[in-house]
Amino acid sequence: MYYVSTRNKGDRRTASEAIEKGLAVDGGLMTPEVLPKLSHNALDTMRDMSYQQRAVYVMNAYLDDFTSSELTAYAAKAYGGGKFDVKEVAPVRQVDSNTYCLELWHGPTCAFKDMALQMLPHLLTASLKKNQETKTVCILVATSGDTGKAALEGFRDVDKTRILVFYPKDGVSAIQELQMNTQEGENVGVCSVVGNFDDAQTGVKKLFSDASLRELLENMGFFLSSANSINWGRVLPQIVYYISAYCDLMREEKIQKGDPVNVCVPTGNFGNILAAYYAKEMGVPIKKLICASNSNNVLTDFLKTGIYDRNRTFYNTMSPSMDILISSNLERMLFALSGHDDAQVREYMAQLNETGRYEVSKSIKDQLGKLFASGYCDDAQTQKVIGAMWKGHHYLIDPHTAVAFDVLDQYRKESGDTTPAIVVSTASPFKFCDNVLGALGVSHVVEGTGALDQLSKLTGISAPAPLAGLKEKRVRFHQSVTKEHMKEQVLEMLL
């Protein structure tokens, strides 16, 4: 199978080339030329498999230049060896008669990004070898909180890699910031950017297209790649957990093979819900893809109207990982729904770049309407949902997950659709303990890591070990730059 740029189908690469480079040279996103379909007995076959085995089964269909035994070794390292605090890796928990929660935060950094960023380093380093790459890969990451830490942890001290993370100053939670700034490892760097996530992400994308930087780095023995979901190696492992969740529900006899389910995904950069779309296209009976946003509701409006317009107020919310107005992975969706019309995608992206706005064709709009439902939830409502979930179900959820539960509720009320739904839970509530405590009615929240103990005491639930251990960690990174100075920062961090 080959991968093509969403902006130029003529740019055709193997899987290992797509993963190694992260982004196409024209700024497009490398995307499978053809989506593989699950065979008619694939779900039955995977039903009784472990998460690791399912990951190999699914990834095999996409990665022609990797062998099954290579993928088996990566899956064992990524998801085994005690890296996840539950043996199921991505457990599905029943909340009520037709609502399930897919918990994706049992990994080393307590967010769903671990599901892909424990795998990507194996895929990327193998890709370097397969393509006889001698230079060191310099991975640039823009993060609104979760990707950064997961990427740092995944690539920490990985041979032939350097990783540099940019996050928005004042745009991540206190725990997220501490997780990143205390990161250990010889090949890591972290820096805040004055501005919001879009500033950081646009800044990183500019660095990718900066020919003089590329040349300079080449002379220093480096080349650039990405650990954001623009890299196909990030999206692929995320497809696995949707298929796995469906298999778990079959195994638990909550559903029969073929029964439809809805999925509700809190998303900002569109990578997580895009992975659910690919799972659906492969043959998982997903009926509606429900896209949940916070007050940065650019995706809600887009999916309802076909008009993408980022010219609006940017809000810093209590679900910061979704504080995004330029949603990178939508580009892959447009490529799929336009029938791989690279010229059309180029045109939309040029308009987005120049005016901050584009309107998709009627055909794309109609397809979006059939595939997706969308909604958003503000901070006040997010707090209420966290409180109600704890009171009603004794289930502690983080603000992003609360946004998804609320949007699912809105969808059900509006549509009357009672299809069993899987809500995607993207982060441990302890990552956002200050806001979670507030939602549970605590008026005096202790500063810093003390809030972890406070939440633990209040709920009787222990903080995940990697977060509880933050107290002992030394803060290593303090740098902050304006978006105009990110290039200098990259060079400085590499020296």
Distance CA 480, CA 495 (A): 17
The answer to whether 52 contacts ligand LJ64HWYM (rule: CB under 6 A) is no
Interface region with ligand LJ64HWYM, contact rule CB under 6 A, candidates 141-149, 308-316, 407-415, 477-485: 141-149
Smallest distance from ligand LJ64HWYM to CB 323, Å:
8
Which structure tokens are listed for 394?
């004794």
Tokens 């008009």, located at residue: 307
Note if 113 is an active site residue.
yes
How distant, in Å, are the alpha carbons of 115, 122, 155 from that of 161?
20, 11, 7
Residue 222, token pair as written in the block = 């480096």
Please tell me which residue in 113, 205, 280, 431 is annotated as part of the active site. 113
CA nearest neighbour of 97 among 391, 421, 388:
421
Report if residue 199 touches ligand LJ64HWYM, rule: CB under 6 A.
Answer: no
- Choose between 323 and 434: whose C-beta lies nearer to ligand LJ64HWYM: 323
- Taking CB under 6 A as the criterion, the residue among 14, 144, 173, 183 binding ligand LJ64HWYM is 144
**CB-nearer residue toward ligand LJ64HWYM: 38 or 352:** 352
Q: Residue 296 or residue 321: which is nearer to ligand LJ64HWYM going by CB? A: 321
Query: What is the pairing mode between strands 222-226 and 136-142?
Result: parallel
In angstroms, the CA 174 to CA 434 distance is 8
User: What is the nearest approach in angstroms of ligand LJ64HWYM to the Cβ of residue 470?
Assistant: 18
Element (H, E) at 398: none
Site for ligand LJ64HWYM contains 28 (CB under 6 A): no
Is 268 a residue that touches ligand LJ64HWYM (CB under 6 A)?
Answer: yes
Binding flag, residue 327, ligand LJ64HWYM (CB under 6 A): no
- Which of 32, 145, 171, 203 touches ligand LJ64HWYM (CB under 6 A)? 145
Nearest to 352 by CA among 330, 376, 322: 330
Which of 202, 262, 297, 321 forms a contact with ligand LJ64HWYM (CB under 6 A)? 321
By the rule CB under 6 A, 154 interacts with ligand LJ64HWYM: no
Whose Cβ is closer to ligand LJ64HWYM: residue 255's or residue 407's? 407
Of 215-223, 263-271, 374-382, 460-468, the segment contacting ligand LJ64HWYM by CB under 6 A is 263-271
For residues 402-428, one letter each, b for 16 or more C-beta atoms within 10 angstroms of the residue's C-beta and e for the rest, the string is: bbbbbbbbbbbeeeebeebbbbbbbbb
DSSP string, 212-239: HHHHHHHHHTEEEEE-STTSHHHHHHHH
Q: How far is the CB of 209 from ligand LJ64HWYM (least distance, A)?
A: 17
Q: Kindly tell me which of 235 and 481 has the beta carbon lying closer to ligand LJ64HWYM.
A: 235
Q: Where are the beta strands (DSSP E) in 320-478?
A: 357-359, 372-376, 421-425
Residues in the chain: 495
Q: Is 146 in the site for ligand LJ64HWYM (CB under 6 A)?
A: yes
Contact 310, 326 (CB under 8 A): yes
Task: Give the one residue of 5, 143, 173, 262 binding ligand LJ64HWYM; rule: CB under 6 A.
Answer: 143
**Residue among 213 and 275 whose Cβ is closer to ligand LJ64HWYM:** 275
CA dist 144 and 317 (Å) reads 11
Q: Does 271 bind ligand LJ64HWYM (CB under 6 A)?
A: yes
Nearer of residues 228 and 374 to ligand LJ64HWYM, judged by Cβ: 228
Q: Is 118 in the site for ligand LJ64HWYM (CB under 6 A)?
A: no
d(CA 107, CA 80): 10
User: What tokens does 443 get?
Assistant: 């008026």
Choices 57-65, 87-95, 138-146, 293-301 (CB under 6 A): range interacting with ligand LJ64HWYM: 138-146
Handedness of CA 441, 446, 448, 454 (dihedral sign): negative
Using alpha carbons only, give the angle 157, 161, 166 rounded to the nearest 5 degrees: 90
Whole-angstrom distance, CA of residue 422 vs CA of residue 280: 13
Q: Which of residues 429-488 bind ligand LJ64HWYM (CB under 6 A)?
A: none
Bridge partner list, 142: 166
Report residue 379: phi and psi, to 5°. Answer: -65, -40
Of 5 and 147, CB closest to ligand LJ64HWYM: 147
Mark residues 220-239: x for contact with ligand LJ64HWYM by CB under 6 A, - for none: --------xx----------
Among all residues, which ones are annotated catalytic?
Answer: 113
What are the residues binding ligand LJ64HWYM (CB under 6 A)? 143-148, 228-229, 268-269, 271, 321, 328
